[in-house]
Amino acid sequence: MTSYVLKRLLYGMLTLLVLATVVFFLMKSIPGSPFELEDKIFPQEYIDNLNAKYGLDQPIYVQYFNYMKNALTGNFDNSMVMTGMSVTYIIGRSFPASLKLGLCAFFFSLIVGVALGTAGALSKSKKFNYVISVITSLGISVPNFFVAMLLMILLGVKIPVLPIVGLKTPLHYILPTLALSFNPISMICRLTRNSLRDVLSQDYIVLARSKGTSERRIVLKHCLKNAFLPVLTYSGPQFSALITGSFVIESLFSIPGIGYEFVSSVSGRDYTLIMGLAVFLGVIVILINLLTDILSAILSPQIKLEK
Amino acid sequence: MLLEVNHLSTEFKTDMGSVQAVRDVSFTLNSGEVLGIVGESGCGKSAMMRSILGLLSENGQVTGGSIVFDGQEIGRTAFSSEKEYTHKMNTLRGSQIGMVFQDPMTFLNPSLTIGAQIEETILNHNRISRQQAAARALELLKMVGIHDPEQRLKQYPFQLSGGMRQRIIIAIAIANEPKLIIADEPTTALDVTVQAQVLNILKDVCARLKTSIIFITHDLGIIAELADRVAVMYAGKIVEYGQVDEIFYHPQHPYTWGLLQSIPQVNGENKELYAIPGNPPDLHTPPVGDAFYPRNPYALNIDAVLQPPFFKVTNTHYAATWLLDPRAPKVDVPEDIRERYAKWKKHY
Ligand SMILES: Nc1ncnc2c1ncn2[C@@H]1O[C@H](COP(=O)(O)OP(=O)(O)OP(=O)(O)O)[C@@H](O)[C@H]1O
Ligand SMILES: [Mg+2]
């Protein structure tokens, strides 16, 4: 198990290296620079000075090695656009909002999705399962900004019962959480239902029944653990996606989160901030993937017992 | 009498209509007896046994008949609700009736330890502590000849060979010393070398506990060795039943002849292995007459239109074939079957 974790950790670091490289070259391939924006016209010497200060006048491979060195040591320069603000400061300012909202959305999705999926798999009612299928199909195909706008219009404007700007009070979390959750709830519900149905039709369930095991115990003891694996495999990446912020939802609800920050850093060609955020988000995603793999291993004895 | 099954019918709903897997089957089983059930793949052996325990898959349903076990009616139709039925069955499953399944690779839960899976059946039916159940599980593993049982209890199914897993399944089936064990092709999925060991263990343990067995197989060799009585199944029906000697040396149904002729001969010279020509009928639309009619070299015209009733051969031996009707023409029994008849005569 330990060597398994170490191996995954090594892969994670390699992935991070590749990610940072790809981000660097992608970033460089977008035309424009942090100091040449349409509305801000600076004198040429001023721009040259700034380029020199941030090393942008160096050949591209030198810039690459500098960036990689900074990325790997976690030592990022200040933002190129927001003068005087360090990348760490910007992350510290924007990440908590995204994290809190993401956690709400994730756990809400997981609980509702697993509960609905389990109910669907155990229910013999065709109607109930039909309703679930229709709702989850919608949830999977409708984009979340549409859900968000619908919710805002219905519950924020037409019948103004819930706030739609910012994240000041717990009430503020409800609408963005719902908007973020509809899709993952649908996915988790379907995964749970299908995989639980699949497990229920396995031979070992027949053997468990032949021992006189109660239906309740069959579900709790024999099914859930096995049925949860596909759900876990999906939930890990979904968890990272949710806590790393959604630009669309954060913009719609005016939440100063990291998703919003990331997109504005790209449109502002804020190279240091882009690299910093990319590496930060990359580390989160990789760590959570690792955690997911470890959890899956714990759930399945075959992996757990491998040396 | 331990078990009495009357006019049992079972069907499975499929996309193409319903499959009549078991069609009006009746048989009895005495205490301490071993009943062998033989028949080709798909003839409804498993469906019949699972119907008795209510272990059919979701789309399966018992559509008629009664099942009396140990003096109590346990057919689904005798209960007013599914819940009541399940509750009653759960007191019998694993305690009064144990089941051994065909494929040891898929019938154990991959994510529970061997110990947990054996202890479960013990704890389902006895008010004892987990420690006591664990001690009993250990005893059971020794009983089915597992080496290093303490170690095995902590292991998962994937760490055990097929033969060992089948022993575990036998241990589970006998854990509460049931009156009846239903063994559904317990050796089919095993290596030939392991088959005999597993079979002997099942035989010994059941003899020791005086357990009755219903043994399903398509291996007539095993039946000859193990069974007291035999029922031959074809296309969802029992077509012939009797004492094991009666079925082996004095068979009456052309299907039984075919089965006996297709046993590989150990001593005989390298004869081409015989197989009954053709395929069993599609049970979505069961035939009107004798289901074996299209494959039967001895078929009579009446076989196409009317199902034969059981004709009595002896007090214990019955066969459902029109050949036994007094009006039927005398047929030339195949040579190997005539040899069998001759052996039978010498015997008695
Ligand atoms: N779950 C199911 N759904 C639909 N049809 C089924 C199902 N289970 C069995 N059947 C059908 O019912 C018939 C009897 O099947 P059964 O499994 O009882 O045969 P069997 O005699 O046990 O065969 P085998 O020797 O292969 O185990 C077959 O025609 C089979 O196709
Ligand atoms: Mg079968």
Task: Kindly tell me if the per-residue pLDDT of B12 is higher than 80.
Answer: yes
- The mean per-residue pLDDT over the stretch B118-138 comes to 97
DSSP H or E run through A215: helix A215-217
Number of structural domains found in chain A? 1
pLDDT reported for residue A307: 47
Ligand 1: centre distance to CA B170 (Å):
23
Residue A255: inside a domain: yes
Task: Kindly tell me if the per-residue pLDDT of A158 is higher than 60.
Answer: yes
Which domain covers residue A199, as residue numbers? 97-267
**Do residues A219 and A77 lie in contact, with contact meaning Cβ atoms separated by under 8 Å?**
no
Task: Kindly tell me if the per-residue pLDDT of A300 is higher than 90.
Answer: no
- The mean per-residue pLDDT over the stretch A164-188 comes to 94
Q: What is the DSSP string of A92-144?
A: HHHHHHHHHHHHHHHHHHHHHHHHHHHHHHH---HHHHHHHHHHHHHHHHS-H
Task: Kindly tell me if the per-residue pLDDT of B270 is higher than 60.
Answer: no
Tell me whether residues B158 and A206 touch, CB distance under 8 A.
no
Q: How many CB atoms lie within 10 A of CB B341?
A: 14
Q: How confident is the model at residue B343 (pLDDT cuts 50, 70, 90)?
A: confident
Window from A42-56, A144-158, A225-239, B291-305 with minimum mean pLDDT: A42-56
**Do residues B189 and B104 lie in contact, with contact meaning Cβ atoms separated by under 8 Å?**
yes
Nearest to A281 by CA among A245, A247, A253, A250: A245
State the sign of the Cα–Cα–Cα–Cα dihedral B127, B128, B134, B137. Answer: negative
Task: Kindly tell me if the per-residue pLDDT of A305 is higher than 80.
Answer: no
DSSP H or E run through B151: helix B149-153
As to burial, measured by CB atoms within 10 angstroms (0-12 exposed, 13-18 middle, 19+ buried), residue B330 is exposed
pLDDT reported for residue A302: 74
- The mean per-residue pLDDT over the stretch A274-286 comes to 89
Q: What is the mean pLDDT of chain B?
A: 92
Residue A261: inside a domain: yes
Tell me whether residues B109 and A300 touch, CB distance under 8 A.
no
Half-sphere exposure of A260 (CA within 13 A, CB side): 19
Per-residue tokens: B110: 């991959």
pLDDT reported for residue A40: 64
Window from A116-120, A256-260, B260-264, B267-271 with minimum mean pLDDT: B267-271
Q: What angle do CA A121, A124, A129 make, to 5 degrees?
A: 60
Task: Kindly tell me if the per-residue pLDDT of A181 is higher than 80.
Answer: yes
Task: Kindly tell me if the per-residue pLDDT of A229 is higher than 70.
Answer: yes
Residue range B215-257, pLDDT digits in tens: 999 888 889 989 999 999 999 999 999 999 999 999 999 999 9
- Which ipTM score applies to this complex? 0.92
Ligand 1-lining residues (CB < 6 angstroms): B 12, 14, 19, 21, 39, 41-47, 57, 59-60, 218, 283
Percent of chain B with pLDDT over 90: 76
Residue A142: inside a domain: yes
Report the alpha-carbon distance of residue A116 to residue B43 in Å, rounded. 39
Report the alpha-carbon distance of residue B345 to residue B348 in Å, rounded. 5
Please report, for the domain that includes residue A194, its CATH number.
1.10.3720.10
Give the closest-approach CA distance of B286 to chain A in angstroms: 27
Residue A291: inside a domain: no
Q: Among all residues of chain B, which has the CA nearest to that of A199? A: B109
Which of A203, A211, A221, A295 is the best mutation test for B, with the most CBs of B within 10 A? Answer: A211
Residue A49: inside a domain: no
Tell me whether residues B93 and A299 touch, CB distance under 8 A.
no
- The mean per-residue pLDDT over the stretch B1-15 comes to 95
Residue A18: inside a domain: no
Q: Which residue has the higher pLDDT, A56 or B269?
A: A56
Residue A50: inside a domain: no
As to burial, measured by CB atoms within 10 angstroms (0-12 exposed, 13-18 middle, 19+ buried), residue B329 is exposed
Residue A75: inside a domain: no
Residue range B176-216, pLDDT digits in tens: 999 999 999 999 888 888 889 889 989 988 888 899 999 99
Residue range A46-105, pLDDT digits in tens: 788 878 877 788 888 888 888 888 777 777 777 777 777 888 888 999 999 999 999 999
Residue range A16-32, pLDDT digits in tens: 889 888 988 888 888 77
- As a whole number of Å, the CA-based R_g of chain A is 24
pLDDT reported for residue B308: 95
Percent of chain B with pLDDT over 70: 97
